[in-house]
Amino acid sequence: MTTDEDLSALATEAPDPRFAQIDRMSVAELAALMNETDHQVPQAVQAALPQIVPAIEAASRAMADGGRLVYVGAGTPGRIGVLDASECPPTFSTPPELVVAVIAGGPAAIANAVEGAEDDEDAGAQAMDEVGIGPKDTVVGIASSGRTPYVVAAVRRARELGAVTLGLSCTEHSVLSAAVDHPIEVVVGPELVTGSTRLKAGTAQKLVLNMISTIAMVQLGKTYGSLMVDLHPTNHKLRERAVRMVRTIADVDDGAAREALAASDFDVKTAAVALRLGLPVEPARARLAATGGRLRHALEED
């Protein structure tokens, strides 16, 4: 797709004279230098907000219409996509199929590099067919260089299939940006270790994916204020968090919160509606269902 000369011109592959002597530095000097360079990342994300906001708005609309959020990447970007997708079910009680990650080389590539996987355009396109991409879905291609063949082919195929497409890269005017509906370019510059895009580029990608998935979930009613009311309380810490949330939302004491949670299978939203509106569990559950699970609407609408 590109020549070696093209690759050497990429910001993600460029050396920086400031880092030319890092092998001579002390641990303290290296830590300070890395910390200094990492400060550039949130600034670069901020500069990309005019691209990020409409991309998230489009993804949120598609998800509200029943679509999925699908990340696709190779190497480090693929693993970052896997991480973000895997955190959605425990955080927001989403079904595993709602936020999906596709990585070049398949699951084996999460822990080990799969030789040649990122260059396989046919596999990238085929992966979109295999996960059944359709018009309601949002596909986010992630590639630090903005030119990874697997990823570019995947988003092109997703676009053919009618999906909303986003492209997240760390270079300007990339092939990936040209292939998608919503390009997001977070330009963080050369890495401390030349070409090691798990550093600033990886951090930038994680920050943007945090925004995409979290804001989409907020838009879908998965929070009440800042409270993650759709959490699935699978351990003691999360059960105690559920109790605190119900106490706060319903303005009740600890005992009442625990009793309501026990009666509602530890569903925070159902318990909160039951207590705030003085309803039995099933009517409270039905009221929530009528508002699409949006707790604020269930509590405030007549």
Residues labelled catalytic: 87, 118
Candidates 143, 146, 145, 187; CA nearest to 40 is 187
102 has which bridge partners? 72
| Cα-based distances in Å from 245 to 63, 94, 225, 229, 292 | 26, 19, 11, 7, 20
Q: Which of 40, 26, 31, 52 is nearest to 183 (CA)?
A: 52
Q: Which helix (H) or strand (E) holds 256?
A: helix 254-263
Q: How far is CA 9 from CA 69, 75, 77, in A?
A: 32, 20, 20
**How far apart, in whole angstroms, are the C-alpha atoms of residue 55 and residue 166?**
7
**What is the C-alpha to C-alpha distance for residues 17 and 286, in angstroms, rounded to an integer?**
63
Give the list of residues 6+ apart from residue 22 with CB closer than 8 angstroms, or none: 30, 33, 192, 193
Contact 264, 285 (CB under 8 A): yes
Please state, in angstroms and rounded to a whole number, the distance separating the CA atoms of residues 113 and 110.
8
What is the residue-wise DSSP string for 124-186?
HHHHHHHTT--TT-EEEEE-TTS--HHHHHHHHHHHHTT-EEEEEESSSS-HHHHHSSEEEE-
CA 252 – CA 231 distance, rounded (Å): 20
